[in-house]
Amino acid sequence: MKIAVLDWHTVSVNGDIPTDELDALGEVHIIPFTSADETAENIGGAEIVLCNKVLITKEVMDACPNIKYIGLFATGFNNVDIAYAAQKGIPVCNAGQYSTNAVAQQTFAYILDHFSRIRDYDTAVRNGEWERSPAFSYFPIPTAELAGKTLAVVGFGSIGRKVAEIGSAFGMNIVVNTRTEPQNCPYETASLFEAAEKADVITFHCPLTDQTKGMVNAELLSHMKPSAMLINTSRGGVVNERDLAYALSSGKLACAYADVLEKEPMSPDTPLKGLPNCFITPHTAWAALETRRRLLGIVCGNIRAWLSGSPQNKVN
């Protein structure tokens, strides 16, 4: 069985993830990155195609008649024409819930960064400010406890639930907004605008759909406290970046932390670039070593399940 891996460097950029588990499944062709005009050529005669973000279109599938299976190193599958794959009898299988712990952890790294101001105090110490202090304790930069603050969680899948659980452990008041009413939810639920109004922190963990695209816009931001912080680790398209940039630069919102942007890699002209109260990480929340190892295990498990005649995590 020939296996084409089209963008391996989105999973392992420095060789920290071995390919032994993949190699045991067939003849593997590892390609670091694949551009749109190289896709059909790089797939060649492979029966199994694995990718993260490479577009697998109708044209690609027609040009590669040997494809029997498409596997994704991701939960999202909008880069694959799943309807056409179904017409051709090609199962498309994704990898879900592999990044729950890592994304929840980074969400709280943002929250703690904002409320505990570790970076700012480290900078102050490096600049000699504590050495010049007349008192034993030097605290000109305000910090705050998380206990008693309201954390609004938008989206209540595995990541949203984990974030709510951690916030609750810190003593935060949890408010959940989700498309469908969750069963046995131990937290308060609210409409999106109600959640925004109550939030000291609002964090987004929802998929990008027609309903969620641009949901963080001027109208939603107008419902938030000027002291609130906003976090997006879901998808860049959930946020209208111009509206968010205006809210941040005009004092309508205290700060924002984003791990995802509308255009990735980051465009030099994103309106969020350079804002002193906007902190951007390069889509790293999912990328812990343990997380990527788990991801590869899920992808290989999906292939084994398909080979045994019982496909799992099939999205089409």
What is the per-residue pLDDT for 216? 98
74 within a domain of the structure (yes/no): yes
Please say if 29 is a catalytic residue: no
pLDDT mean by block of 10 residues, the chain; 316 residues: 97 94 98 97 98 98 98 94 98 96 98 98 98 98 98 97 98 96 93 98 95 97 98 97 98 98 96 98 97 98 98 96
Please say if 283 is a catalytic residue: yes
314 within a domain of the structure (yes/no): no
Q: What is the pTM of this model?
A: 0.94
Residues 209 and 92 in one domain: no
What is the per-residue pLDDT for 183? 87
Residues 44 and 76 in one domain: yes
Residues 70 and 130 in one domain: no
CATH number where 66 lies: 3.40.50.720
312 within a domain of the structure (yes/no): no
295 within a domain of the structure (yes/no): yes
313 within a domain of the structure (yes/no): no
Torsion over CA: 254, 257, 261, 264 (sign): positive
Residues 146 and 52 in one domain: no
Residues 296 and 202 in one domain: no
Angle (CA) 120-287-95 rounded to 5° is 145
Distances (CA, A) of 243 to 23, 152, 200: 47, 20, 19
Distances (CA, A) of 294 to 79, 96, 189, 314: 22, 10, 32, 18
Residues 295 and 219 in one domain: no
Please say if 27 is a catalytic residue: no
Residues 69 and 207 in one domain: no
Residues 163 and 212 in one domain: yes
- The Cα–Cα gap between 7 and 225 comes to 42
Residues 263 and 185 in one domain: yes
Q: How many residues does the chain have?
A: 316
From the list 117, 223, 242, 283, the catalytic residue is 283
148 within a domain of the structure (yes/no): yes
What is the per-residue pLDDT for 181? 86
Residue span of the structural domain in which 63 resides: 2-98+289-307
Residues 58 and 32 in one domain: yes
316 within a domain of the structure (yes/no): no
- The Cα–Cα gap between 212 and 284 comes to 22
From the list 161, 205, 235, 292, the catalytic residue is 235
